[in-house]
Structure 1
Amino acid sequence: MSKYLLDKFLYTVDRDPDLVERYRTDPAGCVADWEREYANKLLNCHSGERSTWLTFSDDERAALAGHDHVRLFEMGAHPFLTLTLFIAMFERDHGPLEYQLAYARAMEHISLPYPDIAT
């Protein structure tokens, strides 16, 4: 499992409106394409350099494809990254702060100490 790769996915998708819409409408396809095209590109590097070893685990792919922000948090994904991306995808379907409150309610069962979100 790679908390870095989970956070990298959430960060890069959130900053590209086309990827946000793709992730909203075709999450499994978006995750697979992103993993193939972006996972091994160096973050914020435009020189074409790549690594070769980063891949999602099956659990990570399933949580990402299922838009399961609770499971992602339990695996160590940063909650601010999931929240901002999921707001971009789903807030439009809800009233003011309705989505954010539902997001928080879904995580009520998690108590201190929280999962380690350091990368």
Structure 2
Amino acid sequence: MSKYLVNKFLYTVDRDPHLVERYREDPRGTVEWWETERAGRILNCHSGEASTWLGFDDAERDALAGHDYPALFEMGAHPFLTLTLFIALFERDYDEPLGFQQEYARRLSHFTLPHPDIAT
């Protein structure tokens, strides 16, 4: 797994409200578009520099396209990046305060310490 690329996806999508909505409505299409158009861009570089070797593997692509944050966590995606993006995606679907955060914790509750390695 390329933790760097998965975390880069989570980070860049979370910081653009239009991409958040696009990812919510069309997750697979957004992942495919982002991988093709944005994955090779150097993070925070606007000078046109790009890389040509970065891409998701099938498990990463499926987890991202399926909004499967437990699988992403298990693969080593950074928990703060997954949490903030998925709050932006799904918090509005819960009536009670912190409803999504409680769901996130419940779905990750089967993990025990030490948690998956998040080092990139």
TM-score by length of 1: 0.98
Check if 1:112 corresponds to 2:113. yes
Distance in 1 (alpha carbons) for counterparts of 2:107 and 2:93: 17
**3-state DSSP of counterpart to 2:49:** coil
The answer for unaligned runs of 5 or more in structure 2 is none
Distance in 1 (alpha carbons) for counterparts of 2:55 and 2:93: 32
Tell me what 1:93 maps to.
Answer: 93
Tell me what 2:48 maps to.
Answer: 48
Identity %: 71
- 1:30 partner amino acid: T
The answer for unaligned runs of 5 or more in structure 1 is none
Distance in 2 (alpha carbons) for counterparts of 1:46 and 1:19: 18
Distance in 2 (alpha carbons) for counterparts of 1:47 and 1:83: 30
The ranges of structure 1 where at least 4 consecutive aligned residues each deviate by more than 3 angstroms after the TM superposition are: none
Tell me what 2:82 maps to.
Answer: 82
TM-score by length of 2: 0.98
Q: Aligned Cα RMSD in Å? A: 0.5
Distance in 2 (alpha carbons) for counterparts of 1:57 and 1:35: 11
Distance in 2 (alpha carbons) for counterparts of 1:50 and 1:106: 36
> 1:112 deviation in Å?
1.1
How many residues in Structure 1 have an aligned counterpart in Structure 2? 119
- 2:78 partner amino acid: H
> 1:58 deviation in Å?
0.2
> 1:64 deviation in Å?
0.2
